[in-house]
Copies of this chain bind each other. A is one copy, B any other.
Amino acid sequence: MSEKSDKIDKIDAKIVSLLSEDGRMSCADISRRIGDVSERTVRYRIKRLIDGGIIRILPVVNPASLGYVVIADVFIEVEPAFIQEVAHKLASIECVTYVAFSIGERDVSIQIAARTNSDVYEFVTGTVAKLPGVRKTTTSIVPHVLKDLYTWPVPVEAIR
């Protein structure tokens, strides 16, 4: 499983890198910036990257800019019969920005964005902990996020 992926080559990677500067950069501009690749190829390549599930081009919202300046991780232990339900309910709540399952001691982990520490406490004890099946929650305030998946570049070793 350590061989290179067939799905992405240097031109693809260059396109993704330019889109990271501006996800709406025109194919013409991308073509010009790369140099020896036609606008048409760029358009085709972007389509293939999206259709192949390699990338999604999305507007990532910055919670802090909307006043959600407090970020917190919550690790949740859930009665097994309720895990799917708890995870999906949490995923449908607006202030929840991340929901994942976890192998270890905790079953589900989430990240939330809130306006104040009190809002975090109230959300965790008043909403999360009251969902049917939730047994225990552990909360950690996150003072700063340095890198996030949406800025994750294509790894060099994955490029054909």
Complex Cα–Cα for A136 and B102 (A): 14
Min CB distance A95 to B, Å, is 7
Complex Cα–Cα for A144 and B83 (A): 12
Q: Number of A interface residues at 8 Å Cβ cutoff, please give it.
A: 93
Contact assessment for B54 and A150 in the assembled complex, using a CB-CB cutoff below 8 Å: no
Report B-chain residues with C-beta under 8 Å of the C-beta of A36: none
Please encode chain A, from 1 to 45, with 1 for each CB lying within 8 Å of some chain B CB and 0 for all others: 110010110000000100110111000000000000000000000
Contact for A100 among B7, B46, B142, CB less than 8 A: B142
Contact for A104 among B16, B55, B61, B139, CB less than 8 A: B139
Complex Cα–Cα for A49 and B62 (A): 10
Please encode chain A, from 53 to 83, with 1 for each CB lying within 8 Å of some chain B CB and 0 for all others: 1111111111101111111110001001101
Contact for A60 among B60, B88, B95, B156, CB less than 8 A: B60
Report B-chain residues with C-beta under 8 Å of the C-beta of A157: 94
Contact assessment for A145 and B57 in the assembled complex, using a CB-CB cutoff below 8 Å: no
Contact assessment for A99 and B146 in the assembled complex, using a CB-CB cutoff below 8 Å: yes
Contact assessment for B19 and A130 in the assembled complex, using a CB-CB cutoff below 8 Å: no
Question: Closest 6 CB pairs between A and B?
Answer: A23-B57, A80-B129, A94-B155, A121-B143, A104-B140, A150-B150
Point out residues on A near B: beta carbons under 8 Å: 1-2, 5, 7-8, 16, 19-20, 22-24, 46, 49, 52-63, 65-73, 77, 80-81, 83, 87-88, 91, 94-107, 109, 111, 113, 115-122, 124-126, 129-130, 136, 138-158
13 contacts between A and B (CB under 8 A): A55-B59, A56-B60, A60-B152, A68-B158, A72-B103, A94-B157, A96-B147, A97-B148, A102-B140, A117-B143, A118-B143, A121-B144, A148-B149
